[in-house]
Amino acid sequence: MMDDYNLPFWIYLAVVTVFVGGAMKKVLASHLSAGPTLVAWLGATVLVERLWAFCLPAMLLLVLLALMAFVYSRSRTGPPPSLPAQGKAVFITGCDTGFGNAAAKHLDSLGFDVFATVLNLTGDGARELQRRCSSRLTLLQVDITQPQQVQQALLDTKAKLGLQGLWGLVNNAGVCANLGDAELTLMSNFRSCMEVNFFGTVSVTKTFLPLVRQARGRIVTISSPAGDQPFPCLAAYGASKAALNLFTNTLRHELDPWGVQVSTILPSSYKTAPSSNHTYWEQQHKQLLQSLPPALLEDYGEDYVTETKTLFQSFAEHANPDFSPVVDSIVQALLSPQPQARYYAGPGLSLTYFIHSYFPFSISDRYLKRMFLKKTLMPRALRKQSGLEVDLGLDNRNNNEEKLQQL
């Protein structure tokens, strides 16, 4: 019976299964009426099946798709159309290090009038910007969680712009105050992430939006895939980015009549400060152990918390140090005549989003765990329940007895 079906049939079956399964997953997760969506997907499936059976053999369809992709890529070999940067002003938050620092330098080199905010005007990042950038760059000391500083930055920017509007607002400032499971994450970390990543960004956006509307310009926000997908041990950070993503998507609809284009950039893993600092993780780990209630620490185990810290350190050490994909995405969002709503900056994101969108939750969750933090320890209470803690204790006692006998 199996011989009646050749390889192209199984390829076809796999493709249809993935897309129909993805549709069913979205319907079940939406908790909305599944009728219209299900009928539409079943109709599309039947149509594809009829076309397959009567018009396009499997291999021919694959060849046709490959040919179309080749022709499309050849038609886009030239550089994408771009608006001029000269005479355009852009305001960037969080330029002490990382994406903001790299973007400020690059946008200045393209001819933008850059307003770069830093937390420390005498810090290394600020001095580097002053040394490497032109006189067009303006440094501003701004903590985006402080409304008075945001308002002062607006006044300083207006004073330099004159009657000119603000072409670009790049919301880059953010923090990742996270070091473990949601239950182990301190409430102060949840609040810190929300204050900077969400409320701070909303404050800056609302404050500078009149200037952006005046120029019919662009709003570019650096977010994270953790705001779309349940990365383990990133509950506080991911929740703040999820709120930010919804805010940005809402702005995209609301500002379209004003001629303002809104884009979100989703970077993969990059080596940004302070996550690349070994001392930072040690301090976070120490603070967490001192702050957790004794009963909760007993349930999870200090070794469990330490392993999580070690995995975060290892992940940060192997992150990509080259920020150019993110910086290039910022430039495209600012200068493309038709910017995209979303830019995926970095390798592996397309596969991650494909699996998250179309595969069952059991598979997508397992993929995230393997890709991000490959934990080997269970919480201590679960080990005790399964007998692992007892077995380990017996093994340790037996080993100690053998050593004593040898002595």
Task: Give the highest mean pLDDT range of 34-38, 58-62, 179-183.
Answer: 179-183
Least confident range of 238-252, 273-287, 326-340: 273-287
Average of per-residue pLDDT across 276-282:
77
* pLDDT value of position 173: 95
| CA–CA gap between residue 241 and residue 221 (Å, rounded) | 11
Residue 35 has pLDDT above 80, yes or no: no
| CA–CA gap between residue 172 and residue 222 (Å, rounded) | 5
| CA–CA gap between residue 377 and residue 384 (Å, rounded) | 12
| Torsion over CA: 370, 376, 378, 383 (sign) | positive
Which pTM value belongs to this model? 0.79
CATH architecture of 89-371: 3-Layer(aba) Sandwich (3.40)
* pLDDT value of position 104: 97
Confidence of residue 30 (pLDDT cuts 50, 70, 90): very low
Residue 282 has pLDDT above 70, yes or no: yes
Catalytic residue among 237, 270, 344, 358: 237
Is 343 a catalytic site residue? Answer: no
Residue 64 has pLDDT above 70, yes or no: no
Report phi then psi at 405, rounded to 5.
-65, -35
Secondary structure of residue 266 in the 3-state scheme: strand
Could you tell me if 327 and 319 are in contact, meaning their C-beta atoms sit under 8 angstroms apart? no
Confidence of residue 134 (pLDDT cuts 50, 70, 90): very high
* pLDDT value of position 358: 81
* pLDDT value of position 130: 95
Confidence of residue 12 (pLDDT cuts 50, 70, 90): low
Bridge partners of residue 42, in order along the sequence: none
Task: Enter the tokens of residue 79.
Answer: 């550089």
* pLDDT value of position 32: 45
Report phi then psi at 320, rounded to 5.
-75, 125
Q: Order of strands across the sheet with 168-171?
A: 138-141, 113-118, 89-92, 168-171, 218-222, 261-267, 342-345
Confidence of residue 8 (pLDDT cuts 50, 70, 90): low
What's the helix, strand, coil split of the chain in %, to 5?
60, 10, 30
Least confident range of 19-33, 154-168, 285-299, 377-391: 19-33
Average of per-residue pLDDT across 300-319:
88
pLDDT above 90: percentage of residues in the chain = 54
Residue 390 has pLDDT above 60, yes or no: no
* pLDDT value of position 355: 85
